[in-house]
């Protein structure tokens, strides 16, 4: 569960959806159709589709919201209320690599704080921030189900477990 750190803005700021609607290639449209075919009600596909929009556009941007509203025959607000509920749906840009350090109890007592601090120092950003070049975002998140291999973080969808500062250096250096 990602923390609320990357998406503080949208809840208090009005967002202008505008007139632009995102467009996707036929392959991605076909992938979206596959998800829709799983459910008797199109709205059920809202989260899988949001992840696709996010993957293709970096985050759920206003044209992406407009696209989902059109594709699922829903209102913008229907899309927005769901988007703002789930911590893995980004309504603001995030870095290319989103480092999500687990902060919950099992990780905490096995040194999660040191891992966050180490990332923070190395990247020059605090949790909740993104590097100026847009390469890294850092967050502290709630339990990721990796308690037996604590401390750990998730970079985008990849789990990295049994971390030490040296291992963190290695992982960060290996990213393309």
Partner 1 sequence: MFIGAIGCEPLQLARVHLENSRSLDVYRQHGGYEALKKVLNGMSADDVINEVKKSALRGRGGAGFPTGMKWSFVPKDSPKPKYVVCNADESEPGTFKDRYLLERDPHLLIEGMLIAAYALASKTCYIYTRGEYRYLIDIMDQALAEARAAGLVGANILGTNFSCEIYTHTGAGAYICGEETALLSSLEGMRGHPRMKPPFPAVSGLYASPTVVNNVETLTAVPDIIKMGGEAYQKLGTEKSGGTKLWSVSGHVNRPGVYELPMGYDDMEKFIMEDCQGMLDGKKLKAVIPGGSSVYIMRADQIIGKDVRMDYEGLVAAGSSVGSGGFIVMDETVDVFESTKNLTEFYKHESCGWCTPCREGTDWLVKVFKRVADGAGRLEDVQLMLDLCDNIEGKSFCPLGDAASWPIQSAIKRFPEDFKKRLVNGES
The secondary structure of 8-31 as a DSSP string is: -HHHHS-----S------HHHHHH
Q: Which long-range contacts (CB under 8 A, 24 or more apart) does 151-154 make?
A: 151/101, 151/102, 151/107, 151/110, 151/111, 151/112, 151/114, 151/115, 152/101, 152/102, 152/107, 153/99, 153/100, 153/101, 153/102, 153/115, 153/119, 154/99, 154/100, 154/102
Determine if 47 is a binding residue for partner 1 (CB under 8 A). Answer: yes
Task: Return the H-helix or E-strand segment holding 100.
Answer: strand 97-102
Two tokens at 69? 């509203």
Query: Taking contact as CB under 8 A, which single stretch among the options 15-23, 83-91, 124-132, 164-172 is the one that binds partner 1?
Result: 83-91
Minimum Å gap between C-beta 87 and partner 1 is: 4
- Which one of residues 17, 147, 171, 172 is an interface residue with partner 1 (CB under 8 A)? 147
Determine if 12 is a binding residue for partner 1 (CB under 8 A). Answer: no
Determine if 131 is a binding residue for partner 1 (CB under 8 A). Answer: no
Determine if 45 is a binding residue for partner 1 (CB under 8 A). Answer: yes
- Which one of residues 43, 57, 114, 122 is an interface residue with partner 1 (CB under 8 A)? 43
Closest to partner 1 by CB, 1 vs 21, is: 1
Count of Cβ atoms closer than 10 Å to residue 67 Cβ = 22
Determine if 163 is a binding residue for partner 1 (CB under 8 A). Answer: no
Contact in structure between 84 and 76 (CB atoms under 8 Å) = no
Determine if 103 is a binding residue for partner 1 (CB under 8 A). Answer: yes
- Which one of residues 21, 28, 36, 82 is an interface residue with partner 1 (CB under 8 A)? 82
- Which one of residues 108, 126, 135, 167 is an interface residue with partner 1 (CB under 8 A)? 108
Tell me which residues touch partner 1 (CB under 8 A): 1-4, 38-48, 50-51, 72, 81-82, 85-89, 103-106, 108-110, 141-150, 154, 157-159
């Amino acid at each position: 569960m990602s923390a609320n750190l990357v998406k503080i803005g949208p809840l208090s700021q009005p967002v202008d959806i505008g007139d632009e609607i995102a467009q996707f290639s036929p392959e991605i449209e076909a992938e979206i159709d596959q998800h829709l075919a799983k459910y008797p009600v199109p709205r059920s596909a809202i989260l899988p589709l949001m992840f696709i929009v996010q993957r293709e556009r970096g985050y759920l941007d206003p044209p992406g919201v407009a696209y989902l509203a059109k594709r699922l025959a829903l209102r913008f607000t229907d899309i927005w209320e769901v988007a703002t509920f789930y911590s893995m749906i980004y309504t603001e840009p995030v870095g290319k690599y989103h480092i999500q350090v687990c902060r919950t109890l099992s990780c905490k007592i096995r040194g999660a704080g040191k891992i966050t601090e180490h990332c923070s120092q190395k990247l020059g950003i605090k949790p909740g921030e993104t590097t100026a070049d847009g390469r890294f975002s850092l967050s502290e998140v709630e339990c990721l189900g990796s308690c037996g291999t604590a401390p750990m973080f998730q970079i985008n969808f990849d789990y990295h477990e049994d971390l030490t500062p040296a291992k963190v250096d290695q992982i960060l250096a290996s990213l393309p």
